[in-house]
A = this chain, B = another copy of it.
Amino acid sequence: MTVPQAQGAGLDLTADVVELTRQLVDFPSESLHEAPLADAVETVLREQSHLEVTRVGNTVVARTTQGRPERVVIAGHLDTVPENGNLPGRLEDGVLHGLGSVDMKGGVAVGLRLAATLATSNRDVTYVFYDAEEIAAVHNGLGKLGQSHPQLLEADFAILMEPSNASVEAGCQGTMRVEVTTTGERAHTARAWMGVNAIHEAGELLARLNAYEPRKPLIDGLEYHEGLNAVFISGGVAGNVLPDACTLTVNYRFAPDRSEAEAEAFLRDFFDGYAVKVTDSSPGALPGLTRPAAKAFLEAVGGTPAPKFGWTDVSRFSALGVPAVNFGPGDPLLAHKAEEHVHVEEIIRCEQQLVAWLSEEEQ
């Protein structure tokens, strides 16, 4: 097949991981426009004779088939948020600046390097490079793959190379959004005693939120930190009318020891007396650090694992019964920012640790 040459050359997997990250940063791949990059990735992976490559939409899966007793997934998304005056990339004093340098082309570069260089490894590896992670869940390439080809994701352990400061962040918290509505009775503001003000009624909801004490459960030795926050509020009819409705949208971030059903029950109890409607929900993922594959990985990379507070695609692996962790270069607080940048030392360290883990003698 021919190689689409989008924005300059294709990818060079013989380059070092920092140079490869820069190539990836300079290869635009905003969500829903990943096809050229997926083509380039597919092309270079098909050149590796030790890999079995499958293309599904703009998701590329490459598997070693060495017959090892254990299989691990190493996954990263190809897409970025829209450019924000931060292209092309720029390498300066050991720091790579540019769109996607953190989220998450450093991680993708590490995955591609491993796929190209580890012809043999102590575990079979399934590399997954997928599309549309940064937009609505319905487009998510990993989610689609889990639906259409769940066998391609079967594994004993998964590493999602989301930025986590090159250390292990385990599990992820769930997220649920609800609309809580207060009702009142319209009246002219000049005769307010004839009505009931629904915005005033919302004072009770805000009082409950202000009195909220977050749970901080300890799971596998990691302390999670829940959160319950109003993210939108709206109400009002006219400048001289008592409003008869006020809607508060609340986002609940819940630790992974709670199911979605338990999260919903908590919210309905918390807002007892008011109409509560769930508008969005995604389950958390337990860290699963006590599973053998996870323990071996933690021993190999060292350091102290931390809980992941934000929601990530590790939850999709968890739903498939595969324990998963976040492990990738870059500070997640810099993701989606114009000043996005990564210390290249973290990219190099991630590659080295994964090579060591996949090359060491099996015990």
Contact = CB atoms under 8 A, between A and B. Distances in A.
Given A207-B207, A231-B237, 12 more contacts: A175-B190, A192-B227, A197-B209, A199-B248, A200-B206, A203-B206, A203-B209, A230-B236, A231-B240, A232-B239, A233-B246, A239-B251
B203 A233 contact: no
Interface string A286-304: 0000000000000000000
Contacts of A309: 190-191
A183 interface: no
Question: Across chains A and B, which 5 residue pairs bring their CB atoms closest together, nearest first?
Answer: A203-B206, A232-B236, A190-B310, A199-B230, A192-B227
A242 interface: yes
B225 A242 contact: no
A273 B280 CA distance: 36
Interface in A172-221: 173, 175, 177, 188-193, 197, 199-200, 202-203, 206-207, 209-210, 214
What range describes how many residues of A lie at the interface?
Answer: 35 or more
Interface in A259-292: 280
Contacts of A190: 173, 175, 227, 253, 309-311
Contact of A229 (B197, B229, B246, B248): B197
A164 interface: no
Contacts of A116: none
Contacts of A209: 197, 200, 203
Nearest to A241: B231
A249 interface: yes
12 contacts: A175-B189, A191-B227, A197-B230, A199-B206, A199-B233, A202-B206, A203-B210, A207-B207, A230-B243, A231-B239, A231-B241, A240-B251
